[in-house]
């Protein structure tokens, strides 16, 4: 893992909602976005609470209409996680959201570019200490009628990169936009440069990280359903994070956003960029030696341990003992299945040999004992 790129740090939140730091030495934060209508207050509050309970550090909501920013006034006091307003097209929605007490604003230079309007939002954010994310997503930053001309003008700068034209436009747009903020002496800025193309994401964030010291919000936009979107997202995001780039992440699926939070957290745990909460589960893929229903067992173990164990203990579920405990080396608690039986090891020592139907209960008991031992010091 490369050292994390030094960035400025922005802070958002409140005493009631907690504070989240993005950039600098802050842990990489996880964010997501609600999928329902913001004006549907009770549903929105319930979804935000569910996402926060699932591990989201901040939650973004869409505010396309006045009724959405009006709803924010009631939503924000009812939730306990910082809220980000996603603003497009109407700068007045940003002003309304700030007035309603939102903790961060997302602006799209592609659809709010009028200097006076941007300045008004900056002034309001400055007044309330609200940071702004500038999202220069591919697709939303290029006006179709100008596209060919601008690509021709700017493409030469990045001519050695396959995505050079898009990169050139993104960087130019970003520089133009940032000038407005700098002139207003406003630096509480987070930058994102999302695209559905994983290679373009890597190229764009890498380039931006060389040029600006603002924290980066990583994401692959429109990644698709979870089944394919997880790979489309985690490949570039994991690459960037392992290269030291990225300060907050959002994975986006065409699915319940709770999965975005779960997968983003797992990615950060795997990269050791966040301290794991709960069990670290490994399991074998099974093969022709298997003599128990391991797939069901793994799912059951995952569910039960997620509910019962809080510490990040490492648990291995192995289909057989063909390679001995070495296969699960490093696991605190391991189960090796045999002929309709399971042999349990704790820190490499064999502690039990139980029937297949007793495996789950016995494994849970050993995990609880191990957790209690760790807690007792
Ligand atoms: Fe096959 Fe045993 Fe390895 Fe599982 S642990 S993949 S069953 S050899």
Taking the centre of ligand 1 as the mean of its atom positions, its distance from the CA of residue 336, in whole angstroms, is 9
Domain count, the chain: 2
Domain endpoint, select from 223, 242, 270: 270
Identify whether the C-beta of residue 120 lies closer than 8 Å to the C-beta of residue 99: no
- E strand or H helix that includes residue 297: helix 294-308
Instruction: Clarify whether residues 17 and 96 are in a common domain.
Output: yes
Q: What is the mean pLDDT of residues 195-206?
A: 91
pLDDT in tens, 31-47: 999 999 999 999 999 99
Q: Which of 206, 238, 270 is the last residue of a domain?
A: 270
User: Same domain, yes or no, for 175 and 83?
Assistant: yes
Q: For residues 204 and 137, give the distance between their C-alpha atoms in angstroms, rounded to a whole number.
A: 10
Cβ(285) – ligand 1 distance below 6 Å: yes
Tell me if 206 CB under 6 Å of ligand 1: no
Residue 234 and residue 338 in one domain: no
- Quick check: is 144 in a domain? yes
Centre of ligand 1 from the C-alpha of residue 333, in Å: 17
Residue 4 lies in a domain: no
Q: Is the CB of 318 under 6 A from ligand 1?
A: yes
Evaluate: CB of 288 within 6 angstroms of ligand 1: no
Task: Name the residue of 318, 343, 345 whose CB sits within 8 Å of the most ligand 1 atoms, as the mutation to test its pocket.
Answer: 318
Residue that finishes a domain, picked among 243, 270, 297: 270
Is residue 227 part of an annotated ligand binding site? Answer: no
CA of 286 to the centre of ligand 1 (A): 5
Distance 322 CA to ligand 1 centre (A): 7
Q: What is the pLDDT of residues 125-163, one digit of tens each?
A: 999 999 999 998 776 665 555 556 655 655 555 555 666
CATH number of the domain to which 363 belongs: 3.30.413.10
Query: Would you state the pLDDT for residue 167?
Result: 82
In the structure, what pLDDT confidence band is assigned to residue 334 with cuts at 50, 70 and 90? very high
What is the per-residue pLDDT for 162?
A: 64
The answer to whether 295 touches 337, Cβ cutoff 8 Å, is: no
- Check residue 153 and give its pLDDT: 59
pLDDT of the residue at 150: 57
Residues 70-123: pLDDT tens digits?
999 999 999 999 999 999 989 999 999 999 999 999 998 888 888 999 999 999
Strands, E, within 118-236: which ranges?
A: 132-135, 189-192, 217-219
Q: Measure the CA–CA gap between 30 and 195, rounded to whole angstroms.
A: 18
Q: Are residues 188 and 209 in the same domain?
A: yes
327 pLDDT more than 80:
no
pLDDT at residue 53 tops 90:
yes
- The pLDDT assigned to 143 comes to 55
Beta bridge partners of 335: 317, 344
Q: What percent of the chain has pLDDT over 70?
A: 91
**Is residue 326 within 6 Å of ligand 1 at its C-beta?**
no
C-alpha–C-alpha distance, residues 304 and 44, integer Å: 29
For the Cβ of 290 lying below 6 angstroms from any atom of ligand 1, the answer is yes
Q: Which atom of ligand 1 is nearest to the CA of 290?
A: 7
What residues make up the domain containing 248?
9-270
Query: Which pLDDT score is estimated for 10?
Result: 98
Residues 153 and 28 in one domain: yes
Q: Is the predicted pLDDT of residue 165 greater than 90, yes or no?
A: no
pLDDT at 113: 81
């Amino acid at each position: 893992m490369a050292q994390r790129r030094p960035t400025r740090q922005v802070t958002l939140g409140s005493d009631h909602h907690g504070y989240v730091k993005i950039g600098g030495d802050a842990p990489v934060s996880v964010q997501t976005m609600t999928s329902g209508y913001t004006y549907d207050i009770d549903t929105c509050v319930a979804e935000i609470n569910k996402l926060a309970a699932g591990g989201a550090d901040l939650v973004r909501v869409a505010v396309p209409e006045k009724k959405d920013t009006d709803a924010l006034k009631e939503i924000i006091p009812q939730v306990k996680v910082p809220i980000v307003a996603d603003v497009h097209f109407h700068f007045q929605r940003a002003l309304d959201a700030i007035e309603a007490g939102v903790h961060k604003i997302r602006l799209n230079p592609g659809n709010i570019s009028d200097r006076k309007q941007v300045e008004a939002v900056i002034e309001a954010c400055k007044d309330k200490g609200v940071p702004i994310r500038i999202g220069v997503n591919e697709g939303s930053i290029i006006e179709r009628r100008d596209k060919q001309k601008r690509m021709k003008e700017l493409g030469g700068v990045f001519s050695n990169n396959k995505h050079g034209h898009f990169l050139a436009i993104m960087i130019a747009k970003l520089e133009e936009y940032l000038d407005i903020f700098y002139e207003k002496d406003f630096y509480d800025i987070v930058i994102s440069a999302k695209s559905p193309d994983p290679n373009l994401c890597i190229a764009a964030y890498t380039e931006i990280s060389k040029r600006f010291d603002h924290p980066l919000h990583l994401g692959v936009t429109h990644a698709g359903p979870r089944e394919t979107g997880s790979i489309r997202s985690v490949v570039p995001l994991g690459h960037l994070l392992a290269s030291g780039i990225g300060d907050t992440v959002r994975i986006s699926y065409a699915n319940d956003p709770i999965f975005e939070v779960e997968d983003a957290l797992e990615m950060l745990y795997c990269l050791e960029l966040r301290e794991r909460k709960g069990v670290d589960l490994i399991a074998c893929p099974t093969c022709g030696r298997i003599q128990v229903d391991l797939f069901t067992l793994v799912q059951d173990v995952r569910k039960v341990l997620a509910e019962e164990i809080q510490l990040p203990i490492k648990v291995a579920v192995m289909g057989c003992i063909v390679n001995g405990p070495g296969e699960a080396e490093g696991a605190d608690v391991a189960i090796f299945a045999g002929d309709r039986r399971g042999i349990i090891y704790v820190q490499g020592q064999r502690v039990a040999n139980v029937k297949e139907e007793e495996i789950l209960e016995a494994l849970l008991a050993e995990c609880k004992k191990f957790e209690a031992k760790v807690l007792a010091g």
